[in-house]
A and B are shown apart, each in its own frame.
Chain A
Amino acid sequence: MKKVKWLCFIMPLCLLACCLVGCLERKGELKNERAEEKTKNEPDATVILGPQMENMDPIAIHIDFEMSMLFLFFEGLMKFAPDGKIIPAMAETYDVSDDGMTYTFHLRPSAWSDGKPVTAFDFAYAWQRAATPKEAAPLANLLDDVARNQDGSLAVKAVDEKTFEVKLATPIPYFLDICTSSVTVPLREDIIEKYGNAWSKEGSTYVCNGPFMLEKRTPTTLDALKNELYWDKDNIKVNWLRANLTMDDKAAEAAFRRNEVLISVWVPSESLDAWYGTPELNLVDLMGTICVAFNSQAKELQNPLIRKAITLAINRKELVDLFKLSQQPASGYIGFVFPDVTRDKKFREVGGDYFNPLDVEGNLEQAKEALVESGHPNGKGLKTLDLMMIAENSSHKQLAEKIQEDLTKIGIKINMVSVDSVTSWANIRKGNYVMTRWGWAADFPHALSMFTIFHSKSDSNPIHLKDLKLDGLIERARITSNQEECMDLLHEIEDILIKNYYISPLFYGKKAFLASTKVKGVYATPAGLLDVTRMQISN
């Protein structure tokens, strides 16, 4: 019995000791790091810009949230100003050759966070690295329009320390937009050679050229300190910025309500109503469209009249009321943010409306007529149709339920197939669905970026249509140097997609974020990335 008592005491004590040791050790660790830099131990500002950063290496990044955090630490040749215009960043000026095929960037004097100057060689290295197939950069396709040398490398070169020259294969009008993207930021060859993949793991080796430098990284936080060597440091007002990395929208909103964070990119869809009209809620037009995509290989949907009936029966007006986010019901595939030939005219205005989303009654009548014409009056003889959506996102379920309700009115039965996001992407690739909720966002503000996905060779084609005419139009639009011709082709492609009801555009995406009224200078780029680097906090 003696032994028993001993053990009963020792075991909990061991546990307690483990716990204490763990806590103490941790505290010491924190102290050492903090002692070096600031006297205070609270960041100047805490923000929520998105979920966990899987990678910090600029070429491994492809999600918009990750990009907006990356731009705390890196800056490319060009960037977006608050008004959406493209302004020089690391480049001070640039020249374009008369044929629009050669861009020469003149870099401004600036330094890396370790003191070395930023040179054109850093850009040349980074661009070549991003285009190397072995690196498997998800956004490498953005560099497809850059000309290639004979050995397959990009036709980019550092003319001297401060001059960077790019030769294009086609004179694309949106090349400067591409120069704002995360695959085009400069990188340090010596650092990456020395540390390999682990170079971006910790602040000590994460040499960067942006407004902030990485101080500490955990799976749930990024601590960024102002980079005193940044060229525009006088406009960086926050000395210590913490990004909380979370994917829980309710907790993020709660933290925002109690001023624990100044900015939250998460707004739960059910509380949008409560925020609507307050100065904290910011809505940004995105370069993207939410649609229902029909699998053209699905037996159930071979008759275009059925697709027409589905498209017209969906009440976009009520859908938009459901999601305060998206006040613009779609009347075509391309949204109002996209320019036409020049930036003063909008693609949608030129293309016109394919249907009037506000004429709900009229559309419903047309939908019913289409069903009668197809030989299925009131949905008679039609099988139940599967509609795929992503389970993790509660707004997808709301959307699918609304569509189900609308389609019941014309007698079409919908079966909701709820899968996790990776499964849904895999199903779209394999063509393993009938209808799916599908959204697409452009990489740059040019309508072409919305259409290339419909090429029959595209890996994630949402309609799986094998149409030589459509493929030909897309290929011609890609390579033409004439903007008017390009836009004509794109309008023709949109005609094919909508008039044959291959996709049913629902609404043009908007992004909501919450920003405290104390904060000034935070804005979203046309691609929906939050730029918080010029943030100012008033009391």
Chain B
Amino acid sequence: MLKYIIRRLFLGLFTVFAVTTITFFLLFLVPGGPFLAEKAPSEEVIAELNARYGLDKPRVVQYKNYMVNLLKGDFGVSLKRREYTVKEIIMSGFVVSARLGVLAILIAVIFGMIGGVLAAYYHGKFLDNLLVLFSTWGVAVPSFITTIVFLLFFCVKLSIFPIMGLFSPLHYVLPVTCLAFYPTAYIMRLVRISMLDVLGQDYIRTARAKGLSTFKIIFKHALRNALLPVITYLGPTLAWILIGNFVIEKVFNIPGIGMALISATLGRDYPLIMGITIFLAFIIVLMNILVDILYKIIDPRIRLV
């Protein structure tokens, strides 16, 4: 087991390194530069700025400098928001995005599992149809549409929730709901399908015959075996959700990491794009490793190679 984990960690590090290198060189293919604007400064000013940030050097030299600094833990400074270092921007954004993300994942897991179990238990009945309808909608409709519909309905029409920022608990309701919407629907579908599969198996009939209560059968015997696909799904989802959702952050004006990544990309803020990409890669790799380890724990039949 330990050997396996160490090996996975090394592979993960290599993945992050590869992502770093590829992104670094891809960035040079993107037209434009960080100092262009509608009323761009003169060529001399741009040259001055390029020299200040070392962007005038050959690409390979820039790459070497970047990697050396990276090994020292230095992500550099933002070219656009020059008062801040990349690390500061990532951390301040991640705190916000992760707070929303954790809340959203908790909601998605709780409601998704309950919904999935209920749908499977009442298979073919009205409640099942209703939940299937909901989960199909949730999976099929993209988040930017759901978000705008929610915003118009709950904020403008009914005027229940505020729109901008995260100043009070009430401000959290809509962004978290929108963020949790897709994973809830997806988990519900996963749990429903695998529960249907599990509930039809022999050992469940045995448990029933033994006279166990329905509650015990479902939560003690059936659900655990139905959880495997949920865990697989949860790993990458958790990573993506922690890292922030640009649409939701933009609409609700939340200073998360998704917003930082998009403005960095549109503004060609190279060090910030690199920093966030590395951070994102790191979290995704880490989550995938965690999921694989969790697999082994939940289902001892799985062999880790």
Enumerate chain A interface residues (CB-CB to B < 8 A): 3-4, 7-8, 11-12, 15-16, 18-19, 22-23, 26, 46, 52, 54-57, 60, 62-63, 133-134, 136-138, 140-141, 197-198, 200-201, 218-221, 244-248, 250-251, 254-255, 257-258, 260-261, 392, 419-423, 425-427, 429, 439, 441, 459-460
Q: Which residues of A contact B80 (CB under 8 A)?
A: 54-55
Asked if B297 is an interface residue, CB under 8 A from chain A, the answer is yes
Smallest CB–CB gap between A87 and chain B, Å? 26
Asked if B130 is an interface residue, CB under 8 A from chain A, the answer is no
Asked if A219 contacts B259 (CB within 8 A), the reply is yes
Apart from A15-B102, A423-B32, list 4 A-B contacts with CB within 8 A.
A201-B84, A220-B165, A220-B255, A260-B162
Cα A119 to Cα B260 with chains together (Å): 39
Asked if A459 contacts B40 (CB within 8 A), the reply is yes
| B 91-103 to A, binary, CB cutoff 8 A, 1 in contact else 0 | 0110100110011
Q: Would you list 25 pairs from A and B whose C-beta atoms are within 8 A, ordered by A residue?
A: A7-B294, A23-B99, A54-B267, A55-B80, A56-B83, A60-B82, A62-B41, A136-B41, A136-B49, A198-B83, A201-B84, A218-B255, A220-B255, A246-B250, A248-B251, A251-B251, A251-B253, A255-B163, A258-B156, A258-B163, A420-B266, A422-B33, A423-B31, A439-B38, A459-B40
Q: Which residues of A contact B30 (CB under 8 A)?
A: 423
Asked if B37 is an interface residue, CB under 8 A from chain A, the answer is yes
Asked if B303 is an interface residue, CB under 8 A from chain A, the answer is no
Q: Which of B32, B33, B92, B155 contacts A254 (CB 8 A)?
A: B155
Asked if B42 is an interface residue, CB under 8 A from chain A, the answer is yes
Asked if B38 contacts A425 (CB within 8 A), the reply is yes
Asked if A197 contacts B105 (CB within 8 A), the reply is no
Smallest CB–CB gap between A157 and chain B, Å? 25
B129-180 contacts to A, CB under 8 A, are: 148, 151-152, 155-156, 159, 162-165
| B 17-54 to A, binary, CB cutoff 8 A, 1 in contact else 0 | 00000000000001111001111111111001100100
Q: Which of B84, B102, B164, B298 contacts A255 (CB 8 A)?
A: B164
Asked if B106 contacts A197 (CB within 8 A), the reply is no
Asked if B75 is an interface residue, CB under 8 A from chain A, the answer is no
* Residue of B whose beta carbon sits closest to that of A16: B106
Smallest CB–CB gap between A100 and chain B, Å? 27
Cα A419 to Cα B253 with chains together (Å): 25
Beyond A198-B83, A421-B38, A429-B36, is A15–B31 a contact (Cβ under 8 Å)? Answer: no
Smallest CB–CB gap between B163 and chain A, Å? 4
B interface bracket (residues with beta carbon within 8 Å of A): 35 or more
Smallest CB–CB gap between A127 and chain B, Å? 17
Asked if A244 contacts B43 (CB within 8 A), the reply is no
Cα A366 to Cα B120 with chains together (Å): 72
Asked if A136 contacts B156 (CB within 8 A), the reply is no
Q: Which residues of B contact A46 (CB under 8 A)?
A: 164
Q: Which of B48, B82, B250 contacts A247 (CB 8 A)?
A: B250
Cα A133 to Cα B48 with chains together (Å): 8
Smallest CB–CB gap between A384 and chain B, Å? 22
- B interface SS class: helix
Asked if A260 contacts B164 (CB within 8 A), the reply is yes
B74-133 contacts to A, CB under 8 A, are: 80-84, 89, 92-93, 95, 98-99, 102-103, 105-106, 109
Most B Cβ at <10 Å: residue of A11, A19, A57: A19
Q: Which residues of A contact B267 (CB under 8 A)?
A: 54, 422
Asked if B165 contacts A244 (CB within 8 A), the reply is yes
Asked if B39 contacts A138 (CB within 8 A), the reply is yes
Asked if B266 contacts A197 (CB within 8 A), the reply is no
Asked if A426 contacts B42 (CB within 8 A), the reply is no
| B 180-191 to A, binary, CB cutoff 8 A, 1 in contact else 0 | 000000000000
Asked if B225 is an interface residue, CB under 8 A from chain A, the answer is no
Asked if B237 is an interface residue, CB under 8 A from chain A, the answer is no
Q: Which residues of A contact B33 (CB under 8 A)?
A: 422, 426
Asked if B250 contacts A248 (CB within 8 A), the reply is yes
Asked if A63 contacts B37 (CB within 8 A), the reply is yes
Asked if B164 contacts A19 (CB within 8 A), the reply is no
Asked if B99 contacts A19 (CB within 8 A), the reply is yes
Smallest CB–CB gap between B236 and chain A, Å? 16
Cα A140 to Cα B45 with chains together (Å): 9
Cα A15 to Cα B102 with chains together (Å): 7
Cα A476 to Cα B55 with chains together (Å): 37
Smallest CB–CB gap between A147 and chain B, Å? 20
Asked if A427 contacts B105 (CB within 8 A), the reply is no
